[in-house]
Structure 1
Amino acid sequence: MSQNKKTKFYIAGSFRYAELINNLSVMLEHSSFLRTYNWTLNKRSDSIETLHKIANEELQGVERADFLVFIFPSGKGSNIEFGIATALKKRIYILDVNNEIENFDLTSTFYFLDNVKSFKGSLEDFAKFIVGCETK
């Protein structure tokens, strides 16, 4: 993909991986990609109004992204973002943090769609993998 216009990405994952997610974002941004929304900056929701606001910001982040990065395993919100990206026919890259994506008790059929690429390995190698796929 041409880098004349910045390629945009969204990272879906659990708050427990916030540091990993932000480190990956920095690596991708150094390769001239643009993050559409940083949900790791959000505080714990304390009202339905806050949940509504965050939900819309996250939805817009996924919609504006050219591709989605999914940190596996993750929670229900991340899986919903994965579903939105799937419905929008986005490219999806999964980092399999615990080498569990092929565990039938933990996986989903949707993780094996044609637009999804799974990766096991270091964060640095995952960033290089994404950059390589996106700049072909």
Structure 2
Amino acid sequence: MKFYIASGLENKEIVQIVRDELIEAGHIHTYDWTQNNRATTKAELQVIGEAERKAVSDSDVILILLPGGKGTHTELGMAIALGKKIHLYSKEKIQPTTASSFYYVDNVERFAGNLKLFIDEIIQLYS
């Protein structure tokens, strides 16, 4: 399974944990944005944006780790539009009153709670 992880920069360490576990289980990570510094120029934004767009397109599965910002939600929208299988993770229960309506479209599976259980579920689903 080829996967991409979308999340906010503040979740970099959590993204790396998920990435490492999935790679260890034999899955292919399409792009590791955690190796980047925050982009500060148009040229940097373009390079990163194109790499992330390609990574979403090339992936079988998109993992969304909340909280996320503009980029995370843009990647979520791209994944929905491309018909990708999406798994949305939140440490806390997702509240419909504050959630995006796109969290509830057909190809989005939601998981709230323990990160390790989420990782184990993904590995089990795609092994």
Task: Give yes or no for TM over 0.5.
Answer: yes
Task: Establish whether residue 126 from structure 1 lines up as the match of residue 124 from structure 2.
Answer: no
Alpha carbons 1:96, 1:119 under 8 Å: kept: yes
Give the percent of matched residue pairs that are identical in Structure 1 and Structure 2.
Answer: 32
The 2-side partners of 1:98 and 1:84 are apart by 24
1:13-28 pair list within 5 angstroms: 13-28=7-22
- Tell me the alpha carbon deviations over residues 80-110 of structure 1, each in whole angstroms, 9 at most, x when there is no partner: 00000000000000111232x22412x0111
Structure 2 contact 56–75 (Cα < 8 Å) conserved: yes
CA deviation vs aligned residue, 1:34-66 (integer Å, no higher than 9, x gap): 110011111121210111111000001101110
CA distance in 2 between counterparts of 1:12 and 1:54 reads 13
Q: Please list every run of 5 or more consecutive structure 2 residues that lacks an aligned counterpart in the other structure.
A: none
Matches within 5 A, 1:45-60: 45-60=39-54
SS at match of 1:93: strand
Whether 2:92 is the aligned partner of 1:102: answer: no
Number of paired residues?
127
Which TM-score applies when normalising by structure 2? 0.95
Task: Name segments (4+ residues, structure 1) moved above 3 Å.
Answer: none
Q: Superposition RMSD on alpha carbons, in Å?
A: 1.1
Structure 1: which amino acid aligns with 2:51? E
Q: Normalising to structure 1: TM-score of the pair?
A: 0.89
Contact 2:4 2:61 in 1 (8 A): yes
Deviation (angstroms), 1:121: 2.0
What letter corresponds to residue 117 of structure 2 in structure 1?
Answer: D
- SS of the equivalent of 1:58 reads helix
Which residue matches 1:77? Answer: 71
